Chain A
Amino acid sequence: MPETGESPTPHLSGQYDADSQKLADERVKLELKERKLEQELSMGKYDVHPEGFTPPEGEMTYEQYLAQRPSEGVVRDELNGGYREAHTGRYASEEDYLAGKEVMPDEETADRTRLDDLGLVALAKEFAEAKQRNDIADKKEIEEAVRSRIEKQAYNEKSGNLTVADVEKAVEQEMRVFYDRAERLGADRSPSDTDQSSEVGDFVTIKTGNGDEGITENISEQQFGEEFDTLTSPFKSGRFANKEPNKESGVDSEGSADETEAPKKYTFGGVEVEVGEEYEAPDGSEMVSIIFNGDKVFVSKKLLIEAEAEPDSGQEDDEIEQEEAENDQEDGENERQSSWWSRNKKFFGINYYAAQWTMMLQRSRERGQITDEMTQEEINEVLERKRRNQVLGMVTVAVATGLATYLAIKGNGVHHDAVASGGVTPDTMHDVTPGITDHLPSVDTAGDVPPSIDISVEPLNPSYEIPSGTGGEALFQRLGLEPRSWYRHQDDLLNRFPGSFYRMDSGNVGIAQSGWLPNEVQSYIESLR
């Protein structure tokens, strides 16, 4: 007899599990299809418009949306997730295929992926938006993502003749370009633009750096024209191309343009420069990028003067480089052999002024002294003030360290109150004067004193060579001074220069020895004129 009582739970076959899983999958698929249908509906895919229909401003029809959608590259599939090749519609990779099956991706993972996958243009837009929202954390995160990407690219592409410092400098330069672009994107953005771009722009966001074959440049950058070419290939053009002997690594779609159209030549501060991209500053002024002294900098277009077009050839470049190298070498020789003021003539010459203009401009921008809001006139004022201060500082230090004071004292004995009130006191001047050659500064920073640095002073007047037996009155007469005035100065001269004069039995002062009077005595007497 079978036992009676509660029947045991029936054991389900494996088929049930399989069917249940299938049902769950179908529900997910149904949900995905419903979402897709809803999104397509909201995007106007099923809207029927009369012929010639024009959507309201800021909107577009589904057909228009498809038309503006990129025909190549990789795009994010907003409906299903992941990335697909725009042309074929295939997933870009297995990872993207799997991503496409994710119904609710982890939020943190999605955010990280979002930044990693954004192109630089999109990042600039994100940065501009974060700035508008005053979202400091977001800004910082984007900033780090951009810097990381540029650094990675820089180190990957840096050639052997570039130092780490060069690369770091270039990265900073590219970061400034990024900030500049983000600033412009932020300024150009109206509220309606923002809405539209967040809907369309995000869709067109490009996947980069994932190692997938065939993934092309950021399509968004095409929409923005050429203005971001420095960011899409920052180390293929500009400063790096200027230094790299092999430019082949930089040949891309932009490179083909170079082949068909020779770049225009301009001079800037008397130096020929190559002009890169142009853009309009917020104040309406036209700005251009140039390569100057190996640096890529932005200057007002007004500062450029168009040079005569010349045939461009590699051989000619080589000749120019060789000539420049020779000039540099020659300059180096001259530099080593010149005296203090000759070495520092750059501070005074107009050529220096012009050549330093860009450098000053760049540094001033870095230090926030020059902003995009400033007019060219205001920028010029800042640069002129900087130059004046640089000269002022250079001369001030020379005075403070005694050189110029020494020179001036030797020249005419002038002792200015301003000098006395500073570090160069009458006492220190006395210290300098007697042992003058001992106190002459080493001119060269590196320590190799130029052979022609001797600035010992030639006698001002042959009359300072004293024949034996010459008295003070006669000396003054030889020098064209009033002979009797000797007696007004004789005591002072004895006190100052006891080695050159002596007290005679008569009580007057005589000249201690024949021959040339010391330079400091000559200088002092000259100051009495």
Chain B
Amino acid sequence: MQNDANYIIDTLGIASLDDDVREDIVDEAYERIGDAVSQGLSDEQQSEYQRIIDGDQSIIDEYLNAHLPNYKEMPMYKQIMDENSDNPEAVGADKVLASFDWVQRYVPDIQARTDEALNAYRQELLQGGVISPAN
């Protein structure tokens, strides 16, 4: 099991690139994967996710109460709350939790779509000469 960024780096074969370039590519990969998985979502679903990550508290509360009524007892929530206690600028635990749960609930074929998007991106990087087949 790998870290998310390492998973992308390994799959694309970009470990040997400069940090800045690698970071740009990873960000781009996230966007492409998001684009790929959003293809299976309705406009309403995309709108709901947008509102969650935009911090629309009414939607976040509504979502959590509907799907994770005991979310305040969840370890993930508690740990984020603990970490946030001394950081007033931290992202709300409820928002993070809702966004994660939402993806697990609604995004279909997570692994297949992720790999498909990454493989397509790798082909582009190969064709563009950014990486070599040996990578």
Q: In the assembled complex, which residues on chain B have CB atoms less than 8 Å from the CB atom of A109?
A: none
Q: In the assembled complex, which residues on chain B have CB atoms less than 8 Å from the CB atom of A386?
A: 31
Taking a contact as CB atoms closer than 8 A, the residue among B1, B110, B117 that contacts A439 in the complex is B1
B70 interface residue (CB < 8 Å to A): yes
Contact in complex: A396, B107 (CB < 8 Å): yes
Contact in complex: B110, A400 (CB < 8 Å): yes
Contact in complex: A390, B34 (CB < 8 Å): yes
Contact in complex: B38, A389 (CB < 8 Å): yes
Q: In the assembled complex, which residues on chain A have CB atoms less than 8 Å from the CB atom of B3?
A: 401, 403, 441-445
Q: How far is the CB of B93 from chain A (nearest CB, A)?
A: 8
- Total interface residues in chain B, CB < 8 Å: 67
Q: How far is the CB of A348 from chain B (nearest CB, A)?
A: 4
Q: How far is the CB of A90 from chain B (nearest CB, A)?
A: 49
Q: In the assembled complex, which residues on chain B have CB atoms less than 8 Å from the CB atom of A400?
A: 4, 7, 110-111, 114
Q: How far is the CB of A255 from chain B (nearest CB, A)?
A: 30
Task: Give the residue name and chain of the B residue nearest to A346 (CB).
Answer: B91
Contact in complex: B7, A410 (CB < 8 Å): no
Complex interface residues of chain A between 404 and 418 (CB less than 8 A to chain B): 404-405, 407-408, 410-412, 414, 416, 418
B123 interface residue (CB < 8 Å to A): no
B80 interface residue (CB < 8 Å to A): yes
Q: In the assembled complex, which residues on chain A have CB atoms less than 8 Å from the CB atom of B31?
A: 386, 389-390, 393
Instruction: Compute how far the CA of A460 lies from the CA of B77 in the bound complex, rounded to whole angstroms.
Output: 12
- Give the total number of A-B pairs whose CB atoms are below 8 A apart: 194
Contact in complex: A404, B103 (CB < 8 Å): yes
Q: Of A390, A439, A458, which is in contact with the most chain B CB atoms at under 10 Å from its CB?
A: A390
Instruction: Compute how far the CA of A455 lies from the CA of B32 in the bound complex, rounded to whole angstroms.
Output: 29
Contact in complex: B38, A392 (CB < 8 Å): yes
Contact in complex: B1, A399 (CB < 8 Å): no
Q: In the assembled complex, which residues on chain A have CB atoms less than 8 Å from the CB atom of B21?
A: 165
Q: How far is the CB of B127 from chain A (nearest CB, A)?
A: 15
Instruction: Compute how far the CA of A458 lies from the CA of B77 in the bound complex, rounded to whole angstroms.
Output: 12
Task: Give the residue name and chain of the A residue nearest to B55 (CB).
Answer: A350
A52 interface residue (CB < 8 Å to B): no
Contact in complex: A401, B107 (CB < 8 Å): no
Taking a contact as CB atoms closer than 8 A, the residue among A394, A408, A439 that contacts B4 in the complex is A394
Contact in complex: B95, A348 (CB < 8 Å): yes
Contact in complex: A398, B4 (CB < 8 Å): yes
Q: Which of A242-250, A259-267, A334-342 contacts B (4 or more CB under 8 A)?
A: A334-342
Instruction: Compute how far the CA of A398 lies from the CA of B114 in the bound complex, rounded to whole angstroms.
Output: 10
Instruction: Compute how far the CA of A144 lies from the CA of B39 in the bound complex, rounded to whole angstroms.
Output: 39
Q: In the assembled complex, which residues on chain A have CB atoms less than 8 Å from the CB atom of B104?
A: 399, 404-405, 408, 414, 416, 418-419
Task: Give the residue name and chain of the A residue nearest to B35 (CB).
Answer: A389
Known: A165-B21, A418-B108, A443-B3. A396 touches B75 (CB 8 A): no
Q: How far is the CB of A528 from chain B (nearest CB, A)?
A: 11
Q: In the assembled complex, which residues on chain A have CB atoms less than 8 Å from the CB atom of B79?
A: 339, 455, 457
List the 7 closest A-B pairs by CB distance, nearest first: A423-B111, A389-B34, A422-B110, A393-B34, A411-B74, A393-B33, A392-B34
In the complex, 28 of the A-B residue pairs with CB atoms within 8 angstroms, ordered by the A residue number, are A165-B20, A348-B53, A350-B55, A386-B31, A388-B34, A390-B31, A390-B34, A391-B99, A392-B49, A392-B103, A393-B33, A394-B4, A396-B103, A396-B107, A396-B114, A403-B4, A411-B74, A411-B76, A412-B73, A414-B68, A422-B109, A432-B1, A442-B2, A444-B3, A445-B3, A445-B9, A445-B22, A460-B73
